[in-house]
Amino acid sequence: MAYNAAVWYTCRANGVQFLREARERIGGGLEHLFDEAARRYRAAAENLRLVADTFPFFAVKPAYIEYEDRRRTAIEALTKAREAEAAGLRVLGELLAGLKALGGGGGPAGKSGGVNLA
């Protein structure tokens, strides 16, 4: 569990960085959607990090799974991560619609080109 949670944390944290960079590169009046998606994925990442910290990979101790407080912490964090990611996916859907509306005909002032979603 610890290894998977650490990898999932890394993926979501990298997603936050991707969304921040995309916000800067694309803009297009969609900044609020990039920000909201990044916020949701940051929450998912933070909760997955909590799971990884609760069951540390490098200090593998099978007895940890027997501790009710650790299990409860992990369950709550996984639930919050799932909710944050579900909300993030909804925002990504809105963002996709906005990007499609931008099309390929030139980007915002000072930005290079349009958005190619072909």
Report yes or no on 112 lying in a domain.
no
Report yes or no on 68 lying in a domain.
yes
Report yes or no on 57 lying in a domain.
yes
Report yes or no on 117 lying in a domain.
no
> Could you tell me the residue range of the domain that residue 32 belongs to?
2-102
How far apart CA 98 and CA 92 sit, in angstroms, is 10
Report yes or no on 95 lying in a domain.
yes
Report yes or no on 114 lying in a domain.
no
**Does residue 75 surpass a pLDDT of 90?**
yes
Report yes or no on 110 lying in a domain.
no
Cβ-in-10-Å burial (0-12, 13-18, 19+) of 69 comes to: exposed
Report yes or no on 23 lying in a domain.
yes
Q: What are 90-111's pLDDT values in tens digits?
A: 999 999 999 999 985 444 544 5
Domain count, the chain: 1
Average pLDDT over residues 9-34: 97
> What's the predicted TM-score (pTM) here?
0.81
